[in-house]
């Protein structure tokens, strides 16, 4: 018992008992103790040679196997640890010999969806969709093993259920010098990671596409206001490339000041980062680009928060307000012009009636005097003054309601040659005119556009009293929608009118299109306001730039037609039309003074006249004369009768009575569509109030002779 441990002695004792019962030998492992108490593993062997009298001789042998036991225990422990590793490893592990699976762990079975018994002994080809993929991975793995001792490659496998998975395959030979002994492979399922990477790439691409296509400028920053992203619009406005700006402090890239004070504007990004809320700035903000350009902007900032609600950055969105502010200014100017137009139209109409009295009575007085009479020249001067007043009311009527342009295809080059050439007659200003041979036809009201270029030429001529150059150029302009957003898409003609006069002071430049504003002592202040109103009514655009001492440039955009302009008609030789002294004329006008004046004028030159004050009286008078067989040769109808129908309705009724009736429309609203397209409404002639006796006589004779 001193030699054997308790457990080993119990076994030894049992064996001894067995020997007494006839057993001749036994062999067993046991644990013994040396004299100094050290435990040793041994093999105990006992042999007995019995005789007829009992035991004669016994042999006991002990073999020390302590070191062998230690090695076996270490091997068992290692194998146990390896089994645990294979069982819990997050990657698939396999032993492959000549690309045939010899062993695998459970994780590999889970990755590929096969039970272990369906894997062992099978070729790795079962995991690949095509032979090409299988061969490529094999060659690449062995190539890397030859170079680096191990091979790593990303590939795609097919599971048992047909699903395609992304895997990272790493292979290491068991024997670096003899790969035929087998290769240990680890397989990491990368599917979820690859899907996340693809989703991230798609998200990045979508974000990039959105930022590139959005019309606003966008800058993103981290929590320390360092720039991490700019879109192209932000690059354009700030003057910074994204590569240059990334990592810079936002204030260096986004340099903004208050438009009113010129001081540094509020730090809205810092405010958004601190408050965690969206922050907006007023529209009184100026962005100064890297190159020093200034843009009025509107901007806002919002915090960027993670899933936990923590703020880790901010996004700044801003846009260039230049065009919008210009549009607002134009809208305000247009509203002002429209308001003035309503007032001006009424004033001009009433004033024209007054001028009618002046023209008529001057004409009557002149007919009673010979040209050499001392008072004849005074009457002529009075008539000239009345004519200038009539031109002024014409400008006022440009602002009136209903003055829409009557468009036609017009050769702008011919129009400018005619108008500008006439206005510069006797001037020491030299005209330089350039235009392409294939210039489109302008879709404009010829009379109104003549007034535009006449006003611009007159201004330039008056600005260069000592002489100079007036440069006018024309060009076709297509794809206007991509150039100027405030204009309707389509084709336009761009006209540039440039002089080298003294220029316009910066303080006056923004007001030159305002009604009644003038820098000239003799100016009425309606010239450029008229120009602006006409261009606006044509759905065009006009802008001006000027620098004191370097002249002024007006740029006009007028609608065009993609066709050649009409050829200029050859001027017809005027002929003296015959007079019809026996003609009977019916006049309708709501103003009794005008009726009396026109009656006297017409009778003075030999016509028979009847007058009415409204539409119903005129129709009744014409019908009654028709029934008596005393038709009127000419009917003159005032277009507008306050409180009732005017000439437009009356002519319809008269033409029903007599389809051959010759009717003339008269009005102070020269730009009314009825006046411009009178024939479409049934009229045979047209005359604009106030008119002179000569103008009235001419239209009467022309209409009667038609």
pLDDT digits (tens, 9 = 90+) for 82-93: 565 556 567 888
Q: What is the pLDDT of residues 218-244, one digit of tens each?
A: 888 999 999 988 888 899 899 999 889
pLDDT at 648: 93
How far is 321 from 327, CA to CA, in rounded Å? 10
- Tell me the mean pLDDT in the region 525-541: 80
pLDDT band for position 587 (cuts 50, 70, 90): very high
CATH of domain 6-70: 2.10.70.100
pLDDT at 58: 64
How far is 276 from 286, CA to CA, in rounded Å? 25
- Tell me the mean pLDDT in the region 299-324: 85
Residue 299 has pLDDT above 90, yes or no: no
Long-range contacts of 57-66 (CB under 8 A, 24+ apart): 58/19, 62/32, 64/40, 65/29, 65/41, 66/40, 66/41, 66/42
Give 407's contacts (C-beta < 8 A, 6+ positions apart): 443, 444, 445, 538
Give 242's contacts (C-beta < 8 A, 6+ positions apart): 229, 230, 235
Q: How many angstroms separate the Cα of 596 from the Cα of each of 583, 589, 609, 704? A: 18, 10, 10, 22
Q: What is the pLDDT of residues 443-501, one digit of tens each?
A: 988 878 888 998 899 888 888 888 899 999 999 988 665 445 567 888 999 999 999 98
Q: Which residues of the chain are in CATH 3.30.450.20 domains?
A: 89-195, 214-320
Query: 408-561 sits in which CATH class?
Result: alpha beta
Q: Give the up-direction half-sphere exposure of residue 15: CA atoms within 13 A in the CB hemisphere.
A: 19
CATH pick for 584-705 out of 3.40.1130.10, 3.40.50.1950, 3.40.50.2300, 3.40.50.1110? 3.40.50.2300
Element (H, E) at 408: strand 408-410
- Tell me the mean pLDDT in the region 521-548: 77
pLDDT band for position 521 (cuts 50, 70, 90): very low
Q: How many angstroms separate the Cα of 116 from the Cα of each of 173, 422, 461, 664? A: 22, 104, 101, 108
Q: How many angstroms separate the Cα of 647 from the Cα of each of 481, 597, 682, 701? A: 42, 19, 10, 20
How far is 197 from 210, CA to CA, in rounded Å? 20
- Tell me the mean pLDDT in the region 393-411: 66
pLDDT at 11: 60
pLDDT at 520: 53
Specify the CATH superfamily of domain 214-320.
Answer: PAS domain (3.30.450.20)
CATH fold, domain 89-195, is Beta-Lactamase (3.30.450)
How far is 147 from 34, CA to CA, in rounded Å? 56
Q: Does residue 651 contact residue 660 with C-beta atoms inside 8 Å?
A: no
pLDDT at 20: 62
pLDDT band for position 578 (cuts 50, 70, 90): very low
Q: What is the pLDDT of residues 333-387, one digit of tens each?
A: 667 666 666 666 667 667 777 887 788 888 888 888 888 888 888 888 888 887 7
Q: What percent of the chain has pLDDT over 70?
A: 80
pLDDT band for position 248 (cuts 50, 70, 90): very high
How far is 494 from 476, CA to CA, in rounded Å? 6
Q: What percent of the chain has pLDDT over 90?
A: 29
- Tell me the mean pLDDT in the region 667-690: 84
pLDDT at 569: 44
Q: Which residues of the chain are in CATH 2.10.70.100 domains?
A: 6-70
Q: What is the pLDDT of residues 95-153, one digit of tens each?
A: 899 999 988 888 899 999 999 899 999 999 999 999 999 999 999 998 999 899 999 99
Q: Which residues of the chain are in CATH 3.30.565.10 domains?
A: 408-561
Looking at per-residue confidence, does 401 or 30 come out higher? Answer: 30
């Amino acid at each position: 018992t001193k030699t054997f441990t308790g457990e080993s002695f119990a076994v030894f004792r049992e064996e001894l008992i067995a020997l007494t019962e006839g057993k001749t030998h036994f062999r067993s492992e046991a644990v013994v103790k040396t004299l100094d108490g050290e435990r040793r593993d041994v093999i105990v062997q006992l042999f007995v040679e019995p005789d007829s009298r009992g035991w004669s001789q016994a042999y006991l042998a002990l073999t020390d196997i302590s070191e062998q036991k230690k090695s076996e225990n270490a091997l068992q422990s290692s194998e146990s640890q390896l089994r645990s590793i294979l069982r819990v490893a997050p990657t698939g592990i396999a032993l492959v010999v000549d690309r045939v699976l010899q062993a695998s762990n459970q994780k590999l079975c889970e990755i590929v969806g096969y039970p272990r018994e369906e894997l062992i002994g099978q070729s790795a080809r079962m995991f690949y969709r095509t032979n090409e993929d299988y061969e490529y991975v094999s060659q690449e793995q062995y190539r890397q093993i030859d170079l680096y001792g191990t091979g790593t490659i990303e590939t795609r496998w097919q599971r048992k259920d047909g699903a395609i998975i992304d895997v990272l395959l790493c292979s290491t030979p068991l024997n670096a010098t003899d790969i035929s002994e087998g290769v240990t492979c680890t397989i990491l399922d990368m599917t979820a990671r690859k899907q996340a990477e693809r989703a991230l790439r798609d998200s990045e691409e979508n974000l990039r596409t959105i930022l590139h296509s959005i019309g606003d400028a966008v800058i993103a920053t981290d929590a320390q206001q360092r720039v991490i992203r700019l879109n192209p619009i932000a690059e354009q406005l700030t003057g910074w490339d994204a590569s240059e700006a990334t990592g810079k402090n936002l204030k260096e890239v986004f340099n903004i000041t208050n438009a009113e004070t010129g001081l540094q504007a509020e730090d809205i990004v810092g405010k958004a980062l601190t408050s965690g809320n969206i922050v907006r700035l007023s529209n009184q903000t100026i962005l100064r680009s890297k190159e020093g350009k200034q843009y009025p902007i509107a901007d806002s900032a919002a915090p960027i928060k993670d899933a936990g609600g923590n703020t880790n950055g901010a996004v700044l969105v801003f846009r260039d307000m230049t065009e919008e502010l210009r549009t607002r200014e134009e809208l305000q100017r247009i509203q002002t012009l429209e308001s003035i137009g309503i007032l001006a139209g009424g004033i001009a109409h009433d004033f024209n009636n007054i001028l009618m009295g002046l023209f008529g009575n001057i004409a009557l007085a002149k007919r009673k005097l010979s040209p050499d009479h001392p008072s004849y020249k005074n009457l002529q001067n009075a008539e000239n003054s009345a004519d200038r007043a009539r031109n002024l009311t014409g400008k006022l009527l440009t602002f009136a309601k209903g003055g829409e342009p009557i468009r036609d295809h017009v050769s702008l080059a011919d129009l400018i040659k005619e108008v500008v050439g006439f206005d510069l007659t006797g001037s020491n200003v030299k005209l330089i005119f350039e235009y392409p041979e294939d210039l489109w036809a302008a879709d404009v009201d010829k009379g109104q556009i003549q007034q535009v270029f006449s006003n611009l030429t007159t201004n330039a001529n008056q600005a260069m009293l000592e002489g100079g150059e007036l440069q006018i150029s024309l060009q076709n302009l297509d794809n206007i929608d991509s150039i100027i957003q405030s204009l309707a898409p389509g084709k336009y003609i761009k006209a540039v009118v440039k002089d080298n006069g003294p220029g316009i002071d910066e303080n006056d430049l923004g007001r030159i299109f305002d009604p009644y504003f003038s820098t000239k002592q003799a100016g009425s202040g309606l010239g450029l306001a008229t120009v602006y109103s006409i261009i606006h009514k044509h759905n065009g655009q006009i802008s001006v730039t000027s620098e004191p001492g370097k002249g002024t440039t007006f740029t006009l955009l007028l609608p065009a037609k993609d066709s050649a302009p009409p050829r200029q008609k050859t001027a017809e030789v005027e002929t003296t039309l015959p007079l019809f002294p026996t003609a009977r004329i019916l006049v309708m006008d709501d103003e009794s003074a005008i009726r009396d004046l026109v009656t006297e004028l017409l009778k003075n030159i030999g016509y028979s006249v009847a007058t009415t004050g409204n539409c119903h009286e005129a129709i009744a008078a014409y019908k009654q004369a028709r029934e008596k067989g005393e038709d009127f040769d000419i009917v003159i109808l005032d277009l507008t009768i306050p409180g009732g129908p005017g000439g437009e309705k009356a002519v319809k009724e008269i033409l029903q009575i007599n389809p051959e009736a010759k009717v003339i429309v008269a009005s102070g609203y020269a730009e009314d569509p009825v006046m411009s397209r009178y024939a479409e409404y049934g009229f045979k002639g047209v005359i604009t109030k106030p008119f002179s006796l000569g103008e009235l006589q001419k239209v009467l004779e022309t209409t009667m002779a038609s």
